[in-house]
Amino acid sequence: MRYFSTRGQTEPVAFQDAVLMGLASDGGLLIPESIPQVGEKLDAWAGLSFPDLAFEVLSPYVGDIPEVDLRRLINAAYATFDSKAVVPLHPLKDLYVQELWHGPTLAFKDVALQLLGQLFEYILEARGEHLNILGATSGDTGSAAIAGARGRSNIDIFIMFPEGKTSPIQELQMTTVADENVHALAIDGTFDDCQAILKSIFRDLPFKARWHLGAVNSVNWARVLAQVVYYFHAYYAAGQKPLAFSVPTGNFGDIFAGWLAAKMGLPITQLILATNENDILSVFFNTGRYARGDVKFTISPSMDIQVASNFERFLFYRLGENAEALRGAMESFAQSGAFHLDDGAPIDDLICAQAVGREETLATITAVHEEEGYLLDPHTAVGVAAGRALRKGDEPLVCLATAHPSKFPEAVNGAVGAPLATHPRVEGLAGLPKRSTPLPASEDAVKAFIEAHGRR
């Protein structure tokens, strides 16, 4: 399997090179030359453990890692989770919640980033190379990326986060890690500022090559690929029935993984895109207009995003895999902050979307706890609310639970009226020394920091 850029101006690369490249050199996102069809294999995969299922789903996309090594990397990644099922389904009265938060940092990002850390180390050791990872986070990606890379001798990791705009727990998970190869950068701006700096630095090809920069954000294809697996796992855990999914969405990577699973042959009847007040994606799927607005800071901060980095992958396929048309749309968006898809066809047959506000989010947390004794974090509550509003048909509905409630105790405890949002890993952060570097929202400032602290 080889990978090419959505913008059509990067030479195709093999899987290992795609992992290290992250963002394509032409500024686009890497996608596979074809989408493997696995519908005829679904019955044969029934009963597999999560690591074994991950091997089957990932293998057609890899090709340049021996099977025995790929299995070892996958097994090592998911040995860090505290559930044997890795991503278990929890039944509520009218839907399932798929708990994606059993990894080291209590967030769904661990599912991909524990594997990505293993892949990075394997590839770098084989090549005798060192990687400087640059990432941007609205909350959970940073801590999960740090957990996957900390202490690795052939990696330094630099994570930008918007100072004061993640939850306190998310910030502690990034800033209390003492490993010397970890650098937490508190940026004076928004997540979109962090993401813009990241993309601009990756477009500086001489700088990227000189410092051997790699990406852990969901621009990295391996992250999206790892997330495809839990859609398949839900299918088996729910009894091999066609499913609808509700997906709390910020950067579009999680729901794009579900879209990809459906294209591979998994029987998904509906993908419900759930956003908070930062509704650029829900507006697009309801009107065809994709327009940047001001970031609103909410109780679900991981979705406080106005530019969804993985949206370009979906748009490439929606435009008939036409790289020239894709470049035109992205250039229009870069120049004016908007573009309008108006070709007379439905936006997508699978994806529908709804924004959920603060009051409805809190009311959903309250109601689910009162009725079923189950705690939702604010992001998952957005997914549950949108899923209940938009579901159609009789298929079981699975809502992706993207974080443990303890990461957002103020909102959750306020909604249920008791201090219930706790977890031993979160409690263990109290009193630990913090280490971060404040920087302006400046590409030059971030580059200077990498030059001062990175290794070649």
Q: Show contacts of 256-259: CB within 8 Å, 24+ apart.
A: 256/224, 256/310, 256/313, 256/314, 257/224, 257/225, 257/227, 257/228, 257/231, 258/228, 258/231, 259/314, 259/348, 259/350, 259/351
CB-count burial class (<10 Å; 0-12, 13-18, 19+) for 253 = buried
Element (H, E) at 134: strand 131-136
**Three-class SS string for 352-381?**
EEEECCHHHHHHHHHHHHHHHCCCCCHHHH
Q: Are strands 96-99 and 131-136 parallel, antiparallel or unpaired?
A: unpaired
Q: Which residues sit opposite 23 in a β-bridge?
A: 29
| C-beta separation of 14 from 64 below 8 A | yes
Task: Supply the residues annotated as catalytic.
Answer: 109
| C-beta separation of 219 from 310 below 8 A | yes
